[in-house]
Amino acid sequence: MSTPYPGCAAPRRHDIDALRALAFALVIVYHVGMYYVADWHWHLKSPHAADWLQGPMRALNLWRMDLVFLISGLAFGLVRRGHGLMSLVRLRSLRLLVPLAFGMAVVVPYQPYAQGVANGLIAPGFCDFLRRYYGGSTWPAGAFDGWHAGVTWNHLWYLAYLWAYTMVLAVLLPLAESLPGQRLRRAFTRLRGTALVLVPVLPLALTTVLRWPHFDATHDLIHDGWVHAVYFTLFVYGYWIGLDEGLWDELVRLRWRTLGLAAVLLALHFGLRGAVWVQQAGLPVRVAVRVLADVYAWAALLTILGWVHRYLNRPWPWLRWANESVYPWYVLHQTVIIVLVVALLPWQLGPVVEPLVLLVGTAGLCWALTAVVRRVGWLRPLFGLSRNAPGTGRQYAAAEATTTVHRSAADSTMRR
């Protein structure tokens, strides 16, 4: 796992690899939870929906995708080091748009079918549904998420958004890499202490004040003004953070303080959201509570980055497998969840056994399907992987040797 990033001369950072894998694992757990959390819309809902899940699910929801886009910005910066502008655009387009198109055509369709049948608006019969789906049929209102467009990308919206942000930042690279752009980046990476906690929140808070009251989260790419402003900001933050040793050292130093701050802010946010006077208050008060959530989310991200860098920046045996598996797992997981939900429903396993079986079954099926994807050359690009599997044996040993100095520096940091 110390091999360079694809097309990049920069050595592997084990903590970033681990963080990417853990972030997407959390997305999978979250989507299993969405089946069970009461009063939150999802494609299918369990008869065992629970109110108590709303608290932990909201605590995660305030930063989970922020973390994913921040990591994506980090990856963009690392891959940029080994590519010219047009090569970068071509590489990222292939890695994002091919899995998006394949996923929408092959992986996702069972999701709207199952949702439409559950809603009583689509007749059972998957083959007939596919014929209509691929034929551009119109659907009853509310049949499935995206019914008005006729097709849906469901959980794969992330790939479309990431491609859009990648293209925007690629266009802006001449400015970002100019002298003023480098000064702005250095100003960000030199933030320390309280400034690192507060200054990056200001654009997020401004976005909340100006856009949050006017835009719902739609995931339709066109009408998502508030979400775009937040996620693109975090994407740029990840690009700026990169491998700056001083900033990562500061994240490690602050990790206890930001953990305590995040806990206090989360408790305060929940307390205010539950207060009757806030629920009855006007828009300015609700915006202020939402800004508080922004501060909590950034404190949580700083905490995660600090702890992960402190303890996971080493060549864990599972990282090599995780790096190759995380993308296929992401593409497959939500359809796998819904297939299992439909299969398990007649068994009536109850509110304890069923979630455990669903979670274990999702992991098992994703593992088995990904094992096939990784071994079949023509399947690999359809799931965002290079056509050939990474080198092993002597190639891997040689790559390890190229990063000895980097690993020593990382180990020195971890001992602090």
Instruction: Name the 3-class secondary structure at 144.
Output: coil
pLDDT (tens digit, 9 = 90+) per residue, 173-218? 999 999 999 999 999 999 999 999 999 999 999 999 999 999 999 9
Overall pTM surpassing 0.85 (yes/no): yes
| CB contact burial 188-219 (16+ within 10 A = b; e otherwise) | bbebeeeebbeebbebbbebbeebbeebeeeb
315 Rama class: left (phi>0) / alpha (psi -120 to 50) / beta: beta
Provide the pLDDT for residue 9.
47
Q: Is residue 297, in this structure, part of any structural domain at all?
A: yes
Banded pLDDT at 278 (limits 50, 70, 90): confident
Banded pLDDT at 375 (limits 50, 70, 90): very high
Q: What is the mean pLDDT of residues 48-71?
A: 97
DSSP 174-216: HHHTSHHHHHHHHHHHT--THHHHHTTHHHHHHHHHHHTTT--
Provide the pLDDT for residue 12.
74
Angle, vertex CA 375, rays to CA 372 and CA 378, nearest 5: 95
Q: Is residue 1, in this structure, part of any structural domain at all?
A: no
Average pLDDT of the chain, as a whole number: 91
Number of domains into which the chain is organized: 1
Using only C-alpha atoms, the chain has a radius of gyration, in whole angstroms, of 22
In this predicted structure, the answer to whether residue 264 has a pLDDT above a threshold of 50 is yes
pLDDT (tens digit, 9 = 90+) per residue, 299-340? 999 999 999 999 999 999 999 999 999 999 999 999 999 999
What does DSSP assign to residue 106?
I
Provide the pLDDT for residue 242.
94
Provide the pLDDT for residue 2.
40
Where is 379: in which H helix or E strand? Answer: none
Q: What is the mean pLDDT of residues 363-380?
A: 97
Q: Is residue 219, in this structure, part of any structural domain at all?
A: yes
Q: What is the mean pLDDT of residues 228-252?
A: 97
Q: Is residue 253, in this structure, part of any structural domain at all?
A: yes
CB 340 within 8 A of CB 362: yes
Q: Which two tokens stand for residue 7?
A: 């097309």
Banded pLDDT at 402 (limits 50, 70, 90): very low
Where is 75: in which H helix or E strand? Answer: helix 64-80
- The pLDDT > 90 percentage for the chain reads 87
Q: Which residues contact 52 (CB under 8 A, 6 or more apart)?
A: none
Q: Is residue 195, in this structure, part of any structural domain at all?
A: yes
Q: Which two tokens stand for residue 209?
A: 């004040």
Q: Is residue 135, in this structure, part of any structural domain at all?
A: no
The closest alpha carbon to 366, from 351, 383, 353, 344, belongs to 383
One-letter amino acid of 31: H
pLDDT (tens digit, 9 = 90+) per residue, 158-183? 999 999 999 999 999 999 999 999 99
Provide the pLDDT for residue 310.
97
Q: Is residue 133, in this structure, part of any structural domain at all?
A: no
Q: Is residue 340, in this structure, part of any structural domain at all?
A: yes
pLDDT (tens digit, 9 = 90+) per residue, 91-100? 999 999 999 9
Q: Which residues contact 240 (CB under 8 A, 6 or more apart)?
A: 73, 77, 185, 188, 189
Q: Which two tokens stand for residue 61?
A: 């929801």
CA 207 to chain CA centroid, Å, is 20
Range of the domain at 304: 14-108+153-414
What does DSSP assign to residue 119?
T
Euclidean distance between CA atoms 404 and 391, whole angstroms: 19
What does DSSP assign to residue 377?
T
